[in-house]
Amino acid sequence: MRIGNAALLVVGVLLCAAGVARGADRRLAPIPRDQAVSSHGPFEMGACDTCHARNDPRNPGPASVTNDACFECHDEFRGSAPVKMERALHPRAGATNCVGCHTPHNSRNRKLLLRT
């Protein structure tokens, strides 16, 4: 039986995630794809080097956990004014680390939230 490139990519990303989870905060580790309500685009595409040191799913290296890494793509959250959310106000930039509330991989919650 032949395994397609997409399946190999998914396996590679999951292996990448397993390796990261062993050495880092397990709250941020990916969950099985069928349990995810929301997913981060770079994670879905297998683009580990968007946040990690390398684009090697088996050994992505350390990840940047600073808000500046998030702001490279999500500039709308940079600044001093809080962003109005559906039920609350988003913390001011710099008030907290993005990964304090959001996972950079995938989540069982909307908007990659760690909990609701």
Residue type, 105: H
- Backbone φ and ψ of 106, nearest 5°: -150, 165
Q: What is the pLDDT of residues 21-57, one digit of tens each?
A: 444 578 888 999 999 999 999 999 999 999 999 988 7
Question: What are the two backbone dihedrals, phi and then psi, of residue 93, each rounded to the nearest 5 degrees?
Answer: -55, 135
* Rounded-to-integer distance, Cα 110 and Cα 38, Å: 6
Residues 54-105: tens digit of each pLDDT:
988 788 889 887 888 888 888 877 776 666 665 666 776 566 788 888 999 9
pLDDT value of position 88: 64
Sign of the alpha-carbon dihedral angle for 30, 63, 26, 72: negative
Contact 54, 61 (CB under 8 A): yes
The band of 109, judged by pLDDT with boundaries at 50, 70 and 90, is very high
- pLDDT reported for residue 39: 97
Instruction: Give the Cα separation of 61 and 71 in Å (integer).
Output: 20
39 three-class SS: strand
Q: Tell me, what's the pLDDT at 75? A: 82
pLDDT reported for residue 8:
45
**pLDDT at residue 56, as a whole number:** 84
Instruction: Identify whether the C-beta of residue 33 lies closer than 8 Å to the C-beta of residue 9.
Output: no
Residue 88 C-alpha from the chain's centroid: 22
| Triad 41, 57, 26: Cα angle to 5° | 75
Structural domain spans, the chain? 5-112
Predicted pLDDT of residue 87: 60
What's the mean pLDDT in 5-9? 48
